[in-house]
């Protein structure tokens, strides 16, 4: 009987051990529970947070808390803007890409066997379609007709050269297109940037700062577009990329006071140029006049403004010219920066702008890239406008 009892107990023991053997591995295979939320960090979160901060450790011998070494954030890497010389040549394909149809159709018309009345009318239409403007078109075509008649020009190459010469002439190559940004008598030059919002004003302001830095000038930017808070942030980002300082006020601050402070800061810091971005989104012409007039008056307490650049969006065509006139009535615009020329086939607007406003186009915007702003050169521009081949040009 005792034997049976012992056997039964032994069997029971084997069964219990077997059961434990089955359960334990399962428990071991169970996935580890998730880490508490704060211990899980994505890569992006880690990048944002920077290196982990170590808690102070106690020195075992002395019991004194030892601070871990301070890990300094890496200094921002400053960008080196491209030199301004040769930018229009580099960006030429941006122009010829959008102007190709215009150039080709003009040259096609000119190389017809007979330049009769219809052909001249079509040439006129092409120029008007490219936004050259009616008066300028008539003048260009009349002069071209006269010269081809007098010279008896027939070859395509000669006609192209004559047309190019007339377009360059319409752009008045004798105009002073330099930006007056050199400091005078120890005070920085002051450059005011005006234009309707959306024309590319803040962007161009940032690009001009890069142009100046590329040319070796020290720059301070004034964020006097206090109408839109993000405009000041945008400007500050542009400035930071080339190590320039930005003077800004609280949202909705008086633009004139921010502009005044920027020039004051420029004088104190001894920089070469102060660049002031202004607002353009105002409900009516009177409000705009008042605000810009005040900015001008207040800034001029420090001395005269050296350069006032009007930013014009080339894609707005002839309509933009009407808006532009308002600015010329308020401030003494000394140069035009024509933006977004890469986005229109109507490059003739350059001629219309100069003619209507009587102000030289000094800069052209040919893309959204930071160095896609080029000093304007009539001969290079016309070359690109007519879409003639030039080797070794990038996109
Ligand atoms: N393709 C192209 N886009 C441009 C050029 N210049 C500016 N832009 C773009 O135009 C848009 C408007 O530019 P902003 O500088 O913000 O215009 P803004 O006049 O300051 O207007 P607010 O920012 O509203 O004050 C942006 O998307 C720019 O990248 C250019 O030459 N070519």
Which pLDDT band, with edges at 50, 70 and 90, does 94 fall under?
A: confident
Q: 189-333, which class in CATH?
A: alpha beta
ipTM for this prediction: 0.94
Q: What confidence score (pLDDT) does residue 65 get? A: 57
% of the chain surpassing 70 pLDDT = 76
Testing ligand 1's pocket by substitution, the residue of 194, 195, 198 carrying the most ligand atoms inside 8 A of its CB is: 198
CA distance 310 to 321: 11
Which pLDDT band, with edges at 50, 70 and 90, does 69 fall under?
A: low
CA of 235 to the centre of ligand 1 (A): 12
| Cβ-based neighbours of 189, under 8 Å, separated by 6 or more | 180, 181, 182, 183, 272, 273, 274, 306, 307
8 A C-beta contact, residue 349 and residue 384: no
% of the chain surpassing 90 pLDDT = 44
- For residue 169, the SS3 value is helix
Tokens of 27: 């428990």
Top-confidence residue, 387 or 326: 326
CA distance 217 to 180: 12
Q: Which atom of ligand 1 is nearest to the CA of 196?
A: 19
CA of 185 to the centre of ligand 1 (A): 34
In the chain, domain spans: 189-333
Relative to beta strand 361-365, strand 373-375 is antiparallel
Relative to beta strand 65-66, strand 335-339 is unpaired
CA of 365 to the centre of ligand 1 (A): 10
Top-confidence residue, 90 or 64: 90
Q: Which atom of ligand 1 is nearest to the CA of 230?
A: 23
Ligand-binding site membership of 334 (annotated):
no
**Residue ranges around ligand 1 (CB below 6 Å):** 197-204, 225, 228, 231, 339-340, 342-343, 365-368, 372
Q: What is the mean pLDDT of residues 125-151?
A: 91
Q: Is the pLDDT of residue 364 over 70?
A: yes
**Of the candidates 100, 177, 95, 171, which has an alpha carbon nearest to the alpha carbon of residue 133?**
171
| pLDDT tens column, 213-252 | 988 999 999 999 888 888 899 999 999 999 999 999 988 8
Taking only Cα atoms into account, the Rg of the chain, rounded to an integer number of angstroms, comes to 34
Report the interhelical angle of 229-241 vs 201-214 (nearest 10°): 20
């Amino acid at each position: 009987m005792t034997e049976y009892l012992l056997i039964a107990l032994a069997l029971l023991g084997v069964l219990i051990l077997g059961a434990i053997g089955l359960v334990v591995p399962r428990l071991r295979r169970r996935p580890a529970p998730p880490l508490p939320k704060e211990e899980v960090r994505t890569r992006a979160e880690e990048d944002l947070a920077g290196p982990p901060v170590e808690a102070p450790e106690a020195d075992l011998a002395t019991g004194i808390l030892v601070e871990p070494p301070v890990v300094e954030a890496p200094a921002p890497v400053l960008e080196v803007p491209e030199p301004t010389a040769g930018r229009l040549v580099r960006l030429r394909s941006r122009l010829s890409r959008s102007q190709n149809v215009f150039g080709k159709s003009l040259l096609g018309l000119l190389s017809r066997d007979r330049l009769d009345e219809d052909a001249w009318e079509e040439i006129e239409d092409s120029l008007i379609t490219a936004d050259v403007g009616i008066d300028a078109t008539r003048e260009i075509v009349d002069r071209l007709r006269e010269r081809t008649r007098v010279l008896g020009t027939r070859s395509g190459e000669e006609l192209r050269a004559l047309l190019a010469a007339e377009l360059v002439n319409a752009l008045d190559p004798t105009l002073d297109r330099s930006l007056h940004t050199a400091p005078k008598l120890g005070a920085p030059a002051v450059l005011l940037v005006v234009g309707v919002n959306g024309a590319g004003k803040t962007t161009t302001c940032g690009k001009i700062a890069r142009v100046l830095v590329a040319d070796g000038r020290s720059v301070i930017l004034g964020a006097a577009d206090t109408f839109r808070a993000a405009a000041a942030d945008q400007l500050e980002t542009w400035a930071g990329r080339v190590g320039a300082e930005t003077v800004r006020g609280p949202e909705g601050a008086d633009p004139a006071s921010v502009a005044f402070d920027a020039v004051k800061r420029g004088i104190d810091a001894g920089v070469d140029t102060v660049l002031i971005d202004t607002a353009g989104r105002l409900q009516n012409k009177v409000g705009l006049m008042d605000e810009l007039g005040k900015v001008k008056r207040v800034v001029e307490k420090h001395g005269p403004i050296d350069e006032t650049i009007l930013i014009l969006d080339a894609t707005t065509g002839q309509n933009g010219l009407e808006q532009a006139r308002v600015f010329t009535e308020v401030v003494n615009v000394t140069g035009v920066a024509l933006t977004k020329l890469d986005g229109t086939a109507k490059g003739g607007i350059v001629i219309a702008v100069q003619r209507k406003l009587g102000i030289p186009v000094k800069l052209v915007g040919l893309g959204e890239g930071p160095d896609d702003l080029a000093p304007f050169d009539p001969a290079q521009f016309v070359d690109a406008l007519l879409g003639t081949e030039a080797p070794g040009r990038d996109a």
